[in-house]
Amino acid sequence: MSEILYAFGVGCFQFQSTKSVDTNGENAEYFRNLKNFLQQDNSVKDVIFSEFEFNNYINDYDSDNRSETQDISDLEYLYPHFSHGKIEIKITIPFRLQKEYLGSFRDILTSENFTIVINFNDTLPVAFIYPEKYENSPSTSTVIVWKHFKKNFKEKENIEFLMLGPSPFHADFFVYAKKDSKLEISYNKKSGYDEVNIFVSPDVEVEFLKEITEYRLKDEIGPFYDIVKFRNSNNRQIYKIYEDIETLSQGKKGNLWAEFLKKDRLAPDIYSSLINLEKIQLEIEENGRQVKEMREHIENRFGHIGLNQKITSAENEIRENPIKSFKNILSTIKDRNFVNTTNNSVVFAAISGVVIGFLLNSLNYILRFLYELIVMTINFFFSLF
C-alpha cells in the first residue's frame, strides 16, 4: 500500500501593480512594494523571491487594465507578468479566523501554519498552498488563504491582491510514495471537490518532491486557469449580447411616427450585435488553437496530460455557447424590423400623398377665392366712378 507523504490545495493568485514600476533586479521597486504589501499583515512570517528572471517580464503598464472585483478575469493581462519565478509566503492563520472564514460549510483544519508557493510561467500563475500538517481536505487551505488575503490585504504600495475563482479547480491533491514510480498523476472526478493522486518515488526528500510536483503540475494547471479566465470573459461578452437581444426584442410599439423614427436607432444595434457575435466566435476559435498547441506541448514534454479530464471539461464549457441561436434571433429581429420599416414607409408615403393632395386642393380653392375677391374689389372700385 502506498504511503501518503503530504497534501495540498491550488489556487491562482496575482499581486497586480497599479502603477508602472521597475522590475530590474531583486531589490527593484515592484519587489520592494510587494514585500511591504505582504508584511502589512502580522500573520505573514516570511516572504522569499526566487528564480525570477528580473529582466524578462511580459506586458506593459496600462492604467485602464484594472479589476473592480479583485478577479483576474476582469483584467486584459497581468502586470507585471513574469515568465519564470517563485514567491514563497509563510503565514499563520489561527483557528478562530479559520472558523470565521469557513462558517458552517467546512470544518477548520488541524494546521495553523501554511506555506504558499506562487509559480510564475507563460500562463497564469499557480499557487500551491501547503498546510503544515497532513489534511484530509487540503483544498480547505486554499479557501482559508484567499479569504484571509481578500479581507486583510488592502491596496498598499500600489499593489492589490487579485485571484481567479474563488476556486476554479475544485480539487484535493495527495502525494503518495510508490516504489519504482517516476511521477504518475491520477485524476478522480468526485461529487464536491475532485481528487488528484500523485505517485512519486519514496527515495526523494519531501521538499525536493514539492519542487518536482510543482514543476510538473504548473504546466497543466496554469493553462487550465488561462482557459477559465477566457471562459469567464467570453461568458460576459455573450451575456451582453443577450441583454442587447432582450432590449431589441422587447421594443414597445408606439404611434406610427415613433415606430417610423425608431428604426434608425434599432438597426445599428442589431448590426453591431451581429458583428460582436462574429468577433466572439473568432476569439473562441483562436483560443481553441492555443489550447491545442498547449496540449501538444504537454504531451511532447511529459508523454501524457495528467489533468486532461479537467482541461477538457473547461474547454467544453466554452464550446457549449448560444452563439448560433443568438445569430438566428438577431437575424429574425433584423428581418422583422426591415419588414416593419418597409410597411411603415409605404403607409407614411400614402399618408403623405393624401396630406399633400389635400393641401394642394385646398391651395387651389384659396387661390381661386383670392382671385375672385380681387376681381370683385376692382370692379367695385371702378363702379364708384
Give the mean pLDDT of 118-126. 93
- β-sheet bridge partners, residue 3: 177
Q: What pTM was computed for the model?
A: 0.81
Give the mean pLDDT of 115-120. 97
Residue 338: what pLDDT? 60
Return the minimum-mean-pLDDT range out of 13-22, 219-228, 341-350: 341-350
CB burial string 19-35: b at 16+ within 10 A, e below: eebebeeeebbbbebbb
Nearest residue to 132 (alpha-carbon basis) of 106, 95, 180, 99: 95
Q: Is the pLDDT of residue 170 over 70?
A: yes
**C-alpha grid cell, residue 75:** 483584467
Give the mean pLDDT of 176-187. 88
Top mean pLDDT of 158-167, 338-347, 355-364 is at 158-167
Q: 63 in helix, strand or coil? A: coil
- CA–CA dist 17, 30 (Å, integer): 7
Residue 372: what pLDDT? 63
Top pLDDT among 23 and 3 is at 3
* Terminal Cα distance for the chain, rounded: 140
Residue 268: what pLDDT? 43
Residue 21: what pLDDT? 85
**pLDDT over 90 percentage in the chain:** 54
pLDDT tens for 348-376 read 454 455 445 545 555 665 666 566 667 66
pLDDT tens for 248-288 read 877 644 444 444 444 444 444 788 888 999 999 999 999 99
Residue 171: what pLDDT? 93
Q: Is the pLDDT of residue 155 over 60?
A: yes
CB burial string 237-275: b at 16+ within 10 A, e below: ebeebeebbeebeeeeeeeeeebbebeeebeeebeebbe
Helix (H) or strand (E) holding 264: helix 256-302
Evaluated on CA atoms 265, 266, 272, 275, the torsion sign reads: negative
Give the mean pLDDT of 50-62. 75
**C-alpha grid cell, residue 231:** 471562459
Residue 362: what pLDDT? 57
Give the mean pLDDT of 134-157. 94
- CA–CA dist 233, 317 (Å, integer): 13
Top pLDDT among 377 and 146 is at 146
Tell me the pLDDT band of 296, cut-offs 50, 70 and 90: very high
CB contact at 8 A, 102 and 92 = no
pLDDT tens for 62-106 read 989 999 889 999 999 999 888 889 999 999 999 999 999 999 888
Give the mean pLDDT of 241-251. 82
- β-sheet bridge partners, residue 65: none
- Other C-beta atoms closer than 10 Å to the C-beta of 141 total 27
CB contact at 8 A, 216 and 245 = no
What integer best gives the mean pLDDT of the chain? 84
Reduce the secondary structure of 99-128 to three states and give it as a string: HHHHCCCCCCCCCCEEEEEEEECCCCCEEE
Phi, psi torsion values for 18, nearest 5 degrees: -95, 10
- Other C-beta atoms closer than 10 Å to the C-beta of 145 total 23
- CA–CA dist 350, 346 (Å, integer): 6
Top pLDDT among 51 and 347 is at 51
Give the mean pLDDT of 154-163. 92
Return the minimum-mean-pLDDT range out of 164-173, 239-248, 253-262: 253-262
- Other C-beta atoms closer than 10 Å to the C-beta of 96 total 9
- CA–CA dist 353, 211 (Å, integer): 84
The bridge status of strand 13-17 relative to strand 183-188 is unpaired
- CA–CA dist 314, 330 (Å, integer): 28
Top mean pLDDT of 86-95, 159-168, 317-326 is at 86-95
Q: For helices 256-302 and 206-249, what crossing angle results, to 10°?
A: 160
Return the minimum-mean-pLDDT range out of 11-20, 49-58, 147-156: 49-58
- CA–CA dist 261, 351 (Å, integer): 16
CA distances from 365 to 107, 356, 368, 371 (A): 95, 14, 5, 10
Residue 181: what pLDDT? 76
